[in-house]
Amino acid sequence: MDIDEQAIRTLVATWMEATARGDLDEVLELLDDEVVFLGPGRPPMRGKAEFAAATRAAAGQNRIEGTAEVQEVRVFGDWAYCWVELTVTMYPGDGGAPVRRAGPGMSVLRKTQSGRWVTFRDANMLGPAK
């Protein structure tokens, strides 16, 4: 495994760990300013600022834990993609029953001028876990 693939795998692990801790600032460091998130049944979420606002608006509603099993990483110079199988459990803050979702995710990443990988586009197909 080369250094870029390892850096991308580390980005995925860091994202999952920071999300579980509720550390929005750390997650934001993993995003391009012009990031776009795509998901079923909702309009695209455009930009780091929109992601941050949506995350802050939902703060305290759920505690999120999950895993991301990397299936494939391909690097093309300063661009890459990463396919993961996600499993996410959301624990409602009001003590309600946990909700588990699972499915594939695909991210397009770019390497910044400083040599750091960031998420540029992200699509996930999470649905009810079986």
- Euclidean distance between CA atoms 79 and 33, whole angstroms: 16
Q: Convert the pLDDT of each residue in 70-125 to its tens digit.
A: 999 999 999 999 999 999 999 988 888 999 999 999 999 999 999 999 999 999 99
CB atoms within 10 A of CB 58: 12
Please give the structure tokens belonging to residue 89: 């459990």
Write down the residue that tokens 């990988």 correspond to. Answer: 117
Q: What are the residue ranges spanned by the domains of the chain?
A: 3-125
Write down the residue that tokens 């695909």 correspond to. Answer: 106
* Cβ pair 67, 20 in contact under 8 A: no
Q: What percent of the chain has pLDDT above 90?
A: 86
pTM of the complete model beyond 0.75: yes
Give the right CATH number for 3-125 from 3.40.630.30, 3.20.20.70, 3.10.450.50, 1.10.1200.10. 3.10.450.50
